[in-house]
Structure 1
Amino acid sequence: MLNVILVGVFFLAAETAAATDEEACLPAKDSSRIVAAGGSIAEMLYSLDAGNLLVAVDSTANYLPETANLPSIGYVRNLSAEGILALKPSLILGEHDMGPVEVLNQISNVEVEVKRIDERHSAQGIIDKFKCVARVLGKEEAAQEIFTSQFAQTVASLERNDQGSAFLPRAALVLNFVDNQPIIAGANTSGDGLLRMAGAQNIFSDIEGWKPLSRELLIAANPQHLVLTERALKSIGGLEGMLSDPLLASTDALEDNNVHAYGGMSLLGFGLQTLEVALSLKGAIK
């Protein structure tokens, strides 16, 4: 019964959210040839069994094996009108940060429909995005069935508050290391949203955005858990490289072996895979 109630709550909330950006979520005029700008969008199209409609994706969809043979349109924030229009798309379906704006305007001016899907860094935000993509394709019933069968229990587990806020595990999320300097997730980032979804306290929530941080400040903050992209872990020489650094090795996270690495887009892309990653992390940091 609880799962049935949650399905209704989350999809009712999705309807409300869609109303704030009604045009983006309206059914497409022609979805026969879709260019997806954003890995989470491509992921959701495949989940909806609509991958056959894709004619190209951007580089952030490389984590999806299904896209291996599709043309690439470059990076979601740095698109080229000429490369996209050469593919003769009927619809450009992109994430909130798709751009630049001038390129999108150029594409729209030649009567190719462009839809930019809103993103919020929460479990509800992911479901809203999924529902919006499904509505664009006329697959709302399929989306609800997929959510009910595959994700309702995951979302219920993420929403369950197992601990009081005063006892949340203290965590930091590192996007990458540049010259051994960590790039950490501050407030209003996908990394901050992911930590909150997993039931962790972001110890750098007083910082805005993604910021480089000295290793000394990271050590002084002393996270109990360190969450990294696999790219970040590789750039620092793996767990062995971190343990060989006296500063990093002195943190509670390293001393207690609480280092958690995930694929970058699965961790931060806020597609459906991010729900599973957040639940995995929630279980790991209890």
Structure 2
Amino acid sequence: MLRQRTGPAPKSGARRGPAQLGHDRAGRPRVGGSFGVRGSFRAAVAAALAFSLTSCGVAAGSGGDLETVSGIPVASEVEAIEDPRSYQGQLSLELVDDPVEPIAADPVPQLPAVVTDNQGTQVEVTDVSRILPLDIYGTLSRMVYELGLGDNVIGRDISSSFPEISDLPLVTTDGHQLNAESILALNPSVIITDTSLGPWDVILQLRDAGVPVVVVDSHRSPENVEALTQAVGAALGLPDEGRELGERTRAQIVEAQEAIATITPESQTQQLRTVFLYARGSAGVYYMFGQDSGADELITAAGGYDVSSEVGWKGAKPANDEGLIAAQPDVIIMMNKGLESVGGVDGLLEKFPAMAQTPAGANERIISMNDDLVLSFGTRTPAVLNALAVALYAPDAL
């Protein structure tokens, strides 16, 4: 599903291409074309969770039914536009919820499970009947469900909003703050978390209360999801299932990237210069995500050119006009609610007037996506990469 920024009626004589879902600033529909096919994509990315590229619904296309991933056409079945840099207008992607596909129907955990977590702490897990997976991205909860232990999950963080978990009690407050009382009230038998949520004192309090807490890697990228999946599986007494799920996901990411390669220009000079902007207008929070933030690897895996490496923008730092001008992005990627919080594209340009001096600002070339998916690097990673690649290079196919 795609939401578009509305504009005035097309000018007389404007041409309409197939599957148009957006208009430029003058209200003209963009017209598709062709682009070079890449012979090989960047090295196969390891990991991200399970998602089948072949088991989703279909959407009507001009040449028949197109295979889709989370409601977005598969990249290999669409045609890239002739000049991606000339495309104008905002694309707001709303990926369709895909059902959890457990790697095993009734897995039997091997307990006790003794693991050394990412912080070097040895943790013994003797009971997985009441699991509480918590992180800022909602990645860990989906992993637990995909491992086949969804019925054992007792609560959720605010980013875990897929249908199967949405009715469970929320244990984070003010966005991503852990609440010790809410967590202890659920009487968890094991907590799987990382360092992305705080305050850290809450984790220490939970350990002091005798709850086994396994801390996994907080870094998220397409390259470490397999290892993360295996770590979660091992902590829950399902090492074989964790390994199988990781391998399944890796294969799906590779398949997604092979499809992405068909519409992505091989030369970096032809790839769209892209930055990731995180915004929460109500709180006055604006960050540009750069190297080692996960957003850089997301952009690269989706076929874009990560500008942060060129301009030396490391981690997540407050966005400013100088940084945006230096980056000269062709495209800006955001979260849907983040863009809405600043008043849409107009509000963003008002906040950062210098953005108009960049190709992305001049063309209002903003791609936004579900907040809980775009940086999750979990079960939905293949779908996220596919959607971004299509939005970058074949927007008229959406």
Is TM > 0.5 for Structure 1 vs Structure 2? yes
- Among 268, 272, 276, the alignment partner of 2:375 is 268
1:14 is matched with none
- Among 44, 58, 81, the alignment partner of 2:157 is 58
2:386 is matched with 279
Task: Report the CA distance between 1:260 and its aligned residue.
Answer: 1.3
Map 1:218-237 onto structure 2 (within 5 A): 218-219=324-325, 221-237=327-343
Task: Report the CA distance between 1:150 and its aligned residue.
Answer: 6.0
CA contact under 8 A between 2:176 and 2:198: conserved in structure 1? yes
Deviation string 1:66-118 (CA, Å, 9 cap, x unpaired) is 22221111158632333322211110111342443332222222321100111
My pick for the range that moved more, 180-189 or 107-116, is 180-189
Map 1:242-253 onto structure 2 (within 5 A): 248=355, 251-253=358-360
Deviation string 1:200-220 (CA, Å, 9 cap, x unpaired) is 233234123222223464245
Q: Which runs of 5+ in 1 are unaligned?
A: 1-5, 12-17
2:53 is matched with none
Indicate the RMSD between aligned Cα atoms, in angstroms: 3.6
- Among 211, 224, 231, the alignment partner of 2:317 is 211
Q: Which runs of 5+ in 2 are unaligned?
A: 1-43, 49-114, 394-398
Task: Report the CA distance between 1:181 and its aligned residue.
Answer: 7.8
Deviation string 1:43-67 (CA, Å, 9 cap, x unpaired) is 1112223111111112222x32322
Q: Which amino acid is the alignment partner of residue 37 of structure 1?
A: L
Q: Which amino acid is the alignment partner of residue 224 of structure 1?
A: D
Task: Report the CA distance between 1:185 and its aligned residue.
Answer: 0.8
Q: Confirm whether residue 29 of structure 1 aligns to residue 126 of structure 2.
A: yes
Instruction: Tell me the number of residue pairs that the alignment of Structure 1 and Structure 2 aligns.
Output: 273
Map 1:46-195 onto structure 2 (within 5 A): 46-61=145-160, 63-74=161-172, 78-146=177-245, 152-158=251-257, 163-176=266-279, 178=281, 182-195=286-299
Task: Report the CA distance between 1:229 and its aligned residue.
Answer: 0.6
CA contact under 8 A between 1:182 and 1:215: conserved in structure 2? no
Task: Report the CA distance between 1:243 and its aligned residue.
Answer: 7.6
In structure 1, C-alpha distance between the alignment counterparts of 2:216 and 2:285, rounded to whole Å = 33
CA contact under 8 A between 2:47 and 2:247: conserved in structure 1? no
Question: Closer, same or farther in 2 for the Cα pair 1:26/1:110, shift >3 Å?
Answer: closer
Question: 3-state SS of the aligned residue for 1:49?
Answer: helix
In structure 2, C-alpha distance between the alignment counterparts of 1:166 and 1:45, rounded to whole Å = 40
In structure 1, C-alpha distance between the alignment counterparts of 2:215 and 2:327, rounded to whole Å = 38
Greater RCO, CA 8 A, separation 6+: 2
- Among 40, 45, 50, the alignment partner of 2:144 is 45
Q: Which amino acid is the alignment partner of residue 85 of structure 1?
A: L
Question: Closer, same or farther in 2 for the Cα pair 1:166/1:115, shift >3 Å?
Answer: same
Task: Report the CA distance between 1:164 and its aligned residue.
Answer: 4.1
Question: Closer, same or farther in 2 for the Cα pair 1:58/1:190, shift >3 Å?
Answer: same
